Every structure is written in C-alpha cells, then in structure tokens.
Chain A
Amino acid sequence: MNTRIIRAIVRKDLRVVRRSRALMTPLIVLPVLLMIVFPTVVTFLPRLMGGAREAFAEMFRNLPDPVRAQFGGFTEATWIRVVHTQMLAPLMLLVPFMVANVIAADGFAGERERKTLEPLLYTPATDAELFVAKLLAAWLPAIMIAFGGAAVYAVIVNVMAWPVMQRVFFPDLTWIVMVLWMAPAFAALGLAGMLLVSLRVRGMQEATQLGGLFVLPVIALVVGEVRGAVLLGPSMAIVIGLLVWVIAGAMLLFGVKRFKRTSLVGKL
C-alpha cells in the first residue's frame, strides 16, 4: 500500500470537511453540547433547582439495587458520581459515532454527489488505498475529537464538582475503558454503517438519513444506563466494545468487497 497516496487523500478530505460550515456545525455543536454543556448543567441541577432535588432523589431510589449499593445514599456527591460515571457516560459514545458518520457521509456519498469522486478514481490509488484513506479520513478525526472531548470533560467535571467532591474523582476505570476502547469501536460502527449505506444510495441526504439509523445501539445503551437496565462496569464496557468492534469489522469487511472502482463508477 502506498501510504503517501493514502495520506494525500486523507489530508484532502479533512481539508474539505473543515471548510464546510454545514459539516463543521454539527461536528462542533454536538461534542460541545454532549461533553461540556450538558454535563455542566446536570452537575448543578440539584443545586440550581431546589424542587428538583427530591425528584432526583426519587430517581436515585428507583435505580437497581446494585447501582445504589455501589454509590450509597443520595447526596449531592452521590448524584454527581452517578450522573457522570453511569448515566451520562454512554452519551459520549454518540460523539465519535456521529463525527465518523457525518465525515464518512461526506467522503463517500457527498463526494459522489459533488462529482469529485471521478477524478479520484482516475488516480493511481488502488481500491484498497482509496478504501483505507476514506476510512481513516472519517475515523481519525472521530477518535481525536472523542479523546480530546473526554479530556476536556474530565477537567470540567472535576473543576466544577470540586466544591462538593473535594478531590479528583473522574474519570473512573469504566470511563477510561469507554473512551479508549468503546469510543473507537463506535466510531468504526458509525463509518461502517455509512459506508454500507453510501454504496447503495446516490445522494448525501439519503445517506445521512439511512446511516443515522445505526445510532440506535448507542441510544439503547444510554436508555439502558439511565433506567438502570445496563450496569456499565469495566468488564461490561470491554464486552460491549468487543461486540461493537466485531459488528463494525464485519460490516467493513462486507463493504470492502463492494468498494470497487468498477462498482463505484456505475453510480457516478
């Protein structure tokens, strides 16, 4: 494989993404909302809304016994730990998923829609090099944003919760596994889903609509966590991450067999 050609395509794709307001808006807004604004607001909800405290205490009482046993009785410190290490944790998986999904949509369906795919097909890049370049162009920014966002999240949470916690309590082991193991897996799932969809549809709009459906496993995980149906510990995070890697890998394998010049050119 010619890594120079791959790097050139990745650089070009990322430059094109950076220059698109339509793409950059969700790529900035979503991580800021999910990894900064939302956790900040939720951290202080019991303090900001006096009446909400009892509601959150009730919510805490309704959590499954193992979760409550893990955190003890309801206090503001407990609330902060529950919110960040359990309830909101899976939300951060949306970030790598969506970033990879959006960039992949632009790289596959978007490029075809703008008719800029054809000149790429005429370059000496092999099908495999094109495929790898397109994957990296979507996957690398997704995990970079996930890692960067996670670091910012950790700093913000510790700083803001300091008056209550009086110590650095975050991230815990589960969260570290989630960021380093699950986030890349969900990014791979996001782009694999978009790859499969893009191979079938012609337009970017159609691709984003269908490709977005692959977010459902993440939503299910979030809902499961909030409702206490899923208790995400380090082992569970490793198992779920592995499962997602396997699914994403299978989808990519399926996609690579169909990612052929001779097929792609038929949709130009």
Chain B
Amino acid sequence: MTAPNAEGSAIVLERVVHRYGATVALRDLTLAVEHGEVFSLLGHNGAGKTTTVRIINGLLAPASGSVRVFGLSPLGDGARVRRRTAVLTESPTLDDRLTARETLRAFAEMYDVPAAEIRGRTESLLSEFGIADRANERVGGFSRGMKQRLALARALVHDPDLLFLDEPTAGLDPVATHQLHSTVREMSRSRGRTVVLCTHNLVEAQALSDRVAVLGEGQLLALGTPAELARRIAPRLEVSLEVEPAQTDAAVRVIGSDNGLTAVADRGGVVRVSGIVRDAVPSLASRLVGAGIALYRLEPHEPSLTDAYFALQHRQPAVRDTDGDEL
C-alpha cells in the first residue's frame, strides 16, 4: 500500500497498527484526510473506527506506524492537537448534574476559549441548537435528542478545525437530523472545517461525505468518493426502460437473459433490467432500437454506497485503483 500524499492533509495515518492485547484492532491503516472535506469512516462494530479516532486525538498510542494531525504528533503534541479538534462521542456523555449553560461554559474554559468570548459563544450555540429556553435546566432531564444537540454544541464551543462525529444522528428526530446535516455542510463548505464522520448510516454518509473509507477488521477495505466506490465495487446497475406498451414483451425478449441480465416487465411499457454493467448500457439501447422497439426513456439507477458497502463486506481483498494502488 502506498503512503498518501501528506502535503496539506489535516490527518495522515501511515501503516498504523493497534492492538488490544492479542486482538489486532488496526492493521497497517494508511489514509489521509484533506482540509475542509467531510470524510466518513464506515464499518461494522469493531471495525476500528473508534480506535482510529482515539489514536488521532492522542488517547491511544499506536503499536507502530505514524500519525500526524495538522502536522503534529497526537502523542507528543496532544494538547495542541486537541485544542483544534472536537469529538462528538456516540452517546452524549454529558454530566446530568450540570445545566446546559454550565456544560458549555465549563468546556469552553477547558478548551481555553478567551474569557471575553465564552459568554457570546455559549449563548449563540444554545440558541442555534434550540436549547436556550432550557439552558438553566439540568441535563439529566433532557431527552436523548436534546442531549445529543447539547453534546454537539459542546463539541463546537471552541470552534474546532477538525470535528469527529461518532454516530451523530443516532436517536435524533428528523428535524434534529436535518439540522445536524446542515451544520456539517456549513462547517465544511462555508467555514472550511474538516469533518470526520463515523457512522453505520450509509445513506447519511453518501449524502454528506466527500470521501469515505470502509474499514473491516481494522483494515482499510476501500477509499474514495461515494460514487467512485459504488461504481467500482458494485458496478452492475439497474436500468428502467420505457417502451411502447404493446412492445413490452418484445423488449424483454430482445434483452434476453445473457450475461446475468434480468429483464422484468414492470407495468405497462416499463421494463426493469438488472445486473447490467455501465459500459453495456449504450449497446442495450442500440439493440432495442435496432429491433424496432420504440424506446421513449432509459433511466439508469446508479449503485449506492449501501450497495458498495455490502459488496465490500463480502469481498475482503483490498480494492485497487486504475494505477494498481490499493484503495
């Protein structure tokens, strides 16, 4: 596996290995996260996502390999690294005995936010996340969703350059989920912050991420944009064809069942073709037209990140790009 280009990267991991006793949690993990991108770490439980986040923040020491965050070592310069990072853990991990306002102020002080700015930032976040009305109530009485919103506000209180979100929408209602997605996009697109998303929610990862890394048993299984991964790992598409209704059966016969294709007449004039590779779509269209079928519409359905993810989990060998490098 080649080392990623470290220039300008927010995070660079090179051949990182971590063990919990005899269990290998990360095996030669190599990846780079660029400034300002939304990067997702995907994988089953135990794939190594949380371990990776902890290593990047200096909470765990890798057994071997190199880790740089903004050019700094998380172990040697941990305080400087953590001053620029924030982690939203999977469960909100808030102290139930503090109020929302006290929580934000306490963490603002711990992150060494200038005293003159603490009040303004705290009030602004309380308001932005819809907690202002209950700012003086103890967190113990909050719903799961409110706690998650407060935990996110806490993560943002020092305006981090690099934000880690571990299952950020778990337990959130649709409105709160939408708000969180907006926050992530705003952090990345408007403010140039880097966001690392650890999630099982593949739809969320596809919608938010510039790039994703799929981990499996501590190994990098694939890395790329969601669309790239989907195309490379799950290359077969489903295509919807709209033909003259009277020619539906004829269209199915023309398509046939060679090369793993399946054609099904869906409803009047619509034929669904599955298992077709992208490159075969033009020839399919020309075959139909050549056979005298009136083809009104051809709509390919791109494979999703979810398709790619499940394909990967059943295919352990690492994926290589066109240059032969492992993805």
Contact check, A16 vs B93: say whether CB atoms are below 8 A apart.
no
> Which stretch of B54-62, B207-215, B255-263, B318-326 is in the interface?
B54-62
Number of interface residues of A (CB under 8 A): 28
Chain B, 45-69, CB within 8 A of any chain A CB: 54, 57-61
Contact check, B60 vs A123: say whether CB atoms are below 8 A apart.
no
> Which stretch of B77-85, B196-204, B235-243, B286-294 is in the interface?
B77-85
Which listed residue (A8, A115, A118, A265) contacts B110, Cβ 8 A? A8
Which listed residue (B58, B93, B98, B102) contacts A261, Cβ 8 A? B58
The answer to the question of B272 belonging to the interface, with a C-beta cut-off of 8 Å to chain A, is no
Contact check, B85 vs A122: say whether CB atoms are below 8 A apart.
yes
The answer to the question of B249 belonging to the interface, with a C-beta cut-off of 8 Å to chain A, is no
Which listed residue (A8, A114, A121, A124) contacts B83, Cβ 8 A? A124
Max chain A CB contacts within 10 Å: which of B59, B61, B112? B59
The answer to the question of B178 belonging to the interface, with a C-beta cut-off of 8 Å to chain A, is no
The answer to the question of A125 belonging to the interface, with a C-beta cut-off of 8 Å to chain B, is yes
The answer to the question of B274 belonging to the interface, with a C-beta cut-off of 8 Å to chain A, is no
Known contacts A15-B97, A262-B59; decide if A122 and B106 are in contact (CB<8 Å): no
Q: Closest CB of chain A to B91's CB: distance in Å?
A: 6
Q: Closest CB of chain B to A10's CB: distance in Å?
A: 10
Contact check, B82 vs A118: say whether CB atoms are below 8 A apart.
no
Contact check, B106 vs A262: say whether CB atoms are below 8 A apart.
no
Contact check, B59 vs A123: say whether CB atoms are below 8 A apart.
no
Chain A, 1-53, CB within 8 A of any chain B CB: 2, 4-5, 7-9, 11-12, 15-16, 19-20
Residues of A within 8 A of B93 (CB): 115-116, 118-119
Known contacts A16-B98, A261-B58, A262-B59; decide if A123 and B110 are in contact (CB<8 Å): yes
Residues of A within 8 A of B60 (CB): 262, 265
Known contacts A20-B97, A119-B93, A265-B54; decide if A4 and B102 are in contact (CB<8 Å): no
Q: Closest CB of chain B to A261's CB: distance in Å?
A: 5
Once bound together, how far apart are the Cα atoms of A121 and B86, in whole Å? 11
The answer to the question of B121 belonging to the interface, with a C-beta cut-off of 8 Å to chain A, is no
Against B, the Cβ 8 Å flags (1 = close, 0 = not) of A142-184 are 0000000000000000000000000000000000000000000
The answer to the question of A78 belonging to the interface, with a C-beta cut-off of 8 Å to chain B, is no
Residues of A within 8 A of B154 (CB): 119
The answer to the question of B111 belonging to the interface, with a C-beta cut-off of 8 Å to chain A, is yes
Known contacts A5-B109, A16-B98, A116-B95; decide if A122 and B59 are in contact (CB<8 Å): yes
Residues of A within 8 A of B112 (CB): 2, 4-5, 124
Chain B, 90-126, CB within 8 A of any chain A CB: 91, 93-98, 102, 106-107, 109-112
The answer to the question of A85 belonging to the interface, with a C-beta cut-off of 8 Å to chain B, is no
Known contacts A262-B60, A262-B61, A265-B54; decide if A122 and B82 are in contact (CB<8 Å): yes
Once bound together, how far apart are the Cα atoms of A126 and B77, in whole Å? 10
Contact check, B107 vs A123: say whether CB atoms are below 8 A apart.
yes
Contact check, A16 vs B95: say whether CB atoms are below 8 A apart.
yes
Residues of B within 8 A of A12 (CB): 95, 98, 102, 106, 110
Against B, the Cβ 8 Å flags (1 = close, 0 = not) of A119-143 are 1111111100000000000000000
The answer to the question of B179 belonging to the interface, with a C-beta cut-off of 8 Å to chain A, is no
Contact check, B97 vs A261: say whether CB atoms are below 8 A apart.
no
- 27 A-B pairs within 8 Å (CB atoms) are namely A2-B112, A7-B109, A8-B106, A8-B109, A8-B110, A9-B110, A11-B106, A12-B95, A12-B98, A16-B97, A16-B98, A114-B95, A116-B93, A118-B93, A119-B89, A119-B107, A121-B59, A122-B57, A122-B86, A124-B82, A124-B112, A125-B79, A125-B110, A126-B79, A261-B59, A265-B54, A266-B20
The answer to the question of B134 belonging to the interface, with a C-beta cut-off of 8 Å to chain A, is no
Minimum CB distance partner of A114 in chain B: B95
Q: Closest CB of chain B to A186's CB: distance in Å?
A: 27
Contact check, B91 vs A124: say whether CB atoms are below 8 A apart.
no
Residues of B within 8 A of A265 (CB): 54, 59-60
Residues of B within 8 A of A114 (CB): 95-96
Minimum CB distance partner of B20 in chain A: A266
Minimum CB distance partner of A265 in chain B: B59
Residues of B within 8 A of A262 (CB): 59-61
Q: Closest CB of chain B to A130's CB: distance in Å?
A: 10
Q: Closest CB of chain B to A119's CB: distance in Å?
A: 5
Once bound together, how far apart are the Cα atoms of A126 and B61, in whole Å? 15
Once bound together, how far apart are the Cα atoms of A92 and B123, in whole Å? 45
Minimum CB distance partner of B151 in chain A: A119
